[in-house]
Amino acid sequence: MEQDIQSMNKWLIVLSALYGTDLVVCTIVYRTPYFRTLFWSVTTELFLGVLALLMVAVLYKDMRPLFSWKDFSVLKAAVYSGAAVLLAIAVNVIVQWVNYRIFHQDVHFYQSFIYLKYPKLAMILRIVLLPALFEEIAYRGVILESLLRLADRRRAIMIGAFLFAIIHMSFISFFWLVPFAIWLGNVRTREGTIWYGVFIHLFFNLTACAFELWG
């Protein structure tokens, strides 16, 4: 019993430390005009990614199976990625309609990158590559693993999904981020690895960027 309590306390500390740091840092970056730059955005993503990797290293014995490529299926990854593309198209159509019809505004995150020398490359780096890797390591890796040690599978996935949506600090995005994160959580627990989630996340965000640039 005492060993179980110690184990639960360990995972609760891991969860609180990673998500608490993520929440504080993201709040400062989003709410402080000085930090609303590409440099700070990328720096924040890298910092939180490195923090998640450090926790993976500390918990390597428990986390190791999630990073295995042993039973990875290219066909399965392609199916998941195709589904992510279709979902991204549907989400972008709906979000654009809501922004235009309800909020009477046309939102384009590409505007944040147009002043750079290579804006499209910068957008792919910031919107696609870094989040697909580091957010999956942090949220479907460390955070979901912590929740699974503290609650049953269904509750862990639901709580993890809400934590993921909250950290993006976007009211309108909340309604699609929660189902998206639930899907990612189910894939991760069913497949026993984060890599399918990385591909899903990558192709979802890549489609969103392509939709904005050429849609």
Nearest to 49 by CA among 76, 89, 18: 18
pLDDT of residue 139: 97
> How distant, in Å, are the alpha carbons of 4, 55, 92, 114, 203 from that of 110?
48, 33, 14, 7, 17
Percentage of the residues of the chain whose pLDDT score is greater than 90: 60
pLDDT of residue 128: 93
Torsion sign (Cα): 185, 191, 195, 197: negative
> How distant, in Å, are the alpha carbons of 75, 127, 138, 161, 207 from that of 183?
18, 19, 16, 9, 17
Backbone angles phi, psi at 37, to 5 degrees: -130, 165
- The mean pLDDT of the chain is 89
Q: Is the pLDDT of residue 113 over 80?
A: no
Q: Is the pLDDT of residue 1 over 60?
A: yes
pLDDT of residue 42: 84
Question: Mean pLDDT across the stretch 149-158?
Answer: 96
| Cα(38)–Cα(64) distance, integer angstroms | 33
User: pLDDT tens across 181-209, in order?
Assistant: 999 999 999 999 999 999 999 999 999 99
117-139: string of b/e by CB count within 10 Å (b at 16+)?
Answer: eebeebbbbbbbebbbbbbbbbb
Q: Which of 6-10, 33-37, 53-57, 172-176 has the lowest mean pLDDT?
A: 33-37
Side chain identity at residue 36, one-letter code: R
pLDDT of residue 170: 80
| Token pair 């066909």: residue | 75
Q: Which residues contact 23 (CB under 8 A, 6 or more apart)?
A: 166, 167
pLDDT of residue 105: 63
Side chain identity at residue 76, one-letter code: K
Q: What tokens appear for 41 in the block?
A: 């955005």
Nearest to 52 by CA among 188, 145, 123, 114: 145
Backbone angles phi, psi at 103, to 5 degrees: -95, -5
User: pLDDT tens across 39-77, in order?
Assistant: 888 888 899 899 999 999 999 999 999 999 988 999 999
DSSP count for the chain of H helices, then E strands: 10, 0
| Cα(107)–Cα(70) distance, integer angstroms | 42
